Chains A and B, each alone.
Chain A
Amino acid sequence: MSAQGPPSPAVEAVLAFADDELVLGWRDSEWTGIAPFLEEDVAFSSIAQGEIGHARALYELAAGVLGGDADALAFDREPGEYRCAPFVELQLVDDWAATIARHWLYETADSVRVAELVDSDWPELAGLAAKMDREEAYHRMHAQMWADRLRESAERDRFEGKVAELWPYALGLLEPGQRDRLAELVGREPVDAVERGAHTEGFAELHGEMTMVRRSVAGARW
């Protein structure tokens, strides 16, 4: 395939998905070294590595159509070209309840998205989604375990408050037609979503940090 013409909706969707995974992986990695338990330092670091690995595979798939490579798509675009949902951009480090609320909502939403992609008529995407789904099973187990734990704790109201706050953002991760399914899975009513398109205030700083090496040395690999 050539690098001509605007990307098809399928490629756009793959890029948006890759951007979600890259940015969330980056945000998850901010817990490395400062999570409330040593086990969670390890868990969030490993989950971050998993999400960024998924981003790389998705960028490679998109690069096969658009030209370039995964690193160029991940790090050489301008902030305005990223299509990640505001949900993944929020910097929640320091707030464990909010972090678990996002983790639980994200993994649940992601399961809806991946379940559809497994049946994609783009065979490489369908195969990749099936592989991702099996890895994500561990992320889902971890998220559910922590959501249950906080719901059974004295911090239940605080946790539920964070879920409610993040709910409009979580909906924005999915296509409108997928949102009822998410609402059903998490037991909430659909509301107006915080949509993709505009970035949150913190994104410029995150983009600057993520792309620093590539901007310092053009084409750097590490």
Chain B
Amino acid sequence: MVTTERVWEALAEIADPEIPVISLVDLGVIRDVEVVGRQVRVEFTPTFLGCPAQEVMRNQLAEAVRALGAEPQIDVILDDSWSTDRITAEGRRKLEESGFAPPHLRASAGSTVVQLDTQAFRCPYCSSADTTLENLFGPTPCRSIRYCRSCRQPFEQFKTI
């Protein structure tokens, strides 16, 4: 018999397809897990609507449920329930360790204008606050590009949304 806890544990093993240091659970895209007999319903809410990794994530979730011997039902929820505040503390730590500046907490940031505030983001390599925005847009919809004037290293920053 599959339990909700076992499903969450299994989903926590799935790496984000584009930023593999962080799991789908740490990314906050799993909204709910419900077990009814052999059926496991997972509510999945994508980060950005234009994220090309959505289908890969959905398939990974279904496979992980099947590996537990259960029947997956992956419901994609396209509402406003995902924000970068859903990234867990552990997820933020892992992002920083691998050279991504984590997003600001929306609760404390107020508005997206914080993106342009040079003091708001620290360099993940040398921790300097002397960084500038190079490009609002980066290699995936969720990332911007910044530059550290202290250690002269460009780095990626998770957008705050």
B79 A43 Cβ-Cβ under 8 A: no
Q: Is the CB of B138 closer than 8 A to any CB of chain A?
A: yes
Task: Kindly provide the distance from the CB of B86 to the nearest chain A CB, expressed in whole angstroms.
Answer: 13
Once bound together, how far apart are the Cα atoms of A51 and B140, in whole Å? 14
Which of A50, A54, A130 has the most chain B CB atoms closer than 10 A to its own CB? A50
- Which B104-118 residues sit within 8 Å CB-CB of chain A? 112-113, 115-116
Which residues of the partner chain A approach B80 to less than 8 Å between Cβ atoms?
127, 130-131, 134
0 or 1 for each of B69-89: is its CB under 8 Å from A? (1 = yes): 000000000111111000000
Cβ of B139 < 8 Å from any Cβ of A? yes
Interface secondary structure of A, over-half rule: helix
Q: Which of A9-17, A92-100, A136-144, A185-193 contacts B (4 or more CB under 8 A)?
A: A136-144
How many residue pairs, one in A and one in B, have C-beta atoms under 8 Å apart?
Answer: 81
Q: Which residue of B lies closest to A60 (CB)?
A: B78
Query: Are B83 and A47 closer than 8 Å at their CB atoms?
Result: no
Q: Are B50 and A50 in contact (CB under 8 A)?
A: yes
Give chain B's interface residue range (CB within 8 Å of chain A): 20 to 34
Contact A141 B49 (CB under 8 A): no
Residue contact A141 to B136, C-beta cutoff 8 Å: yes
Provide the residues of chain A in CB contact with B83, threshold 8 Å.
Answer: 134
Query: Which of A42, A52, A127 is B79 in contact with, Cβ under 8 Å?
Result: A127
> Which residues of A sit under 8 angstroms from B135, Cβ to Cβ?
39, 42-43
A50 to B50, CA, bound (A): 5
In residues 42-85 of chain A, which contact B (Cβ within 8 Å)? Answer: 42-43, 45-47, 49-54, 56-57, 60-61
Does residue B14 face the partner (Cβ distance < 8 Å to A)? no
Count residues of A near B (Cβ-Cβ below 8 Å): 29
Among candidates B113, B134, B140, residue contacting A39 with C-beta atoms closer than 8 Å? B134
Residues B159 and A138 in contact, CB atoms below 8 Å apart? yes
CB distance from B44 to the nearest CB of A (A): 14
Instruction: A159 to B55: give the CA distance in the assembly, Å.
Output: 40
Complex-state Cα separation, A132 to B79, whole angstroms:
9
Cross-chain contact B112 with A137 (CB below 8 angstroms): yes
A141 near B141 (CB under 8 angstroms)? no
Chain A residues 118 to 169 lying within 8 A of chain B, measured CB to CB, are: 124, 127-128, 130-132, 134-135, 137-138, 141-142, 145
Beyond A46-B138, A135-B141, 13 additional pairs, beta carbon < 8 A? A39-B137, A47-B137, A51-B50, A53-B50, A53-B51, A54-B50, A56-B50, A128-B78, A128-B79, A131-B80, A134-B112, A135-B48, A138-B136
Report A's interface with B, CB cutoff 8 A. 39, 42-43, 45-47, 49-54, 56-57, 60-61, 124, 127-128, 130-132, 134-135, 137-138, 141-142, 145
What are 10 sample pairs from A and B whose C-beta atoms fall under 8 A apart? A39-B134, A42-B139, A50-B141, A60-B78, A61-B78, A127-B81, A131-B78, A132-B49, A135-B48, A137-B112
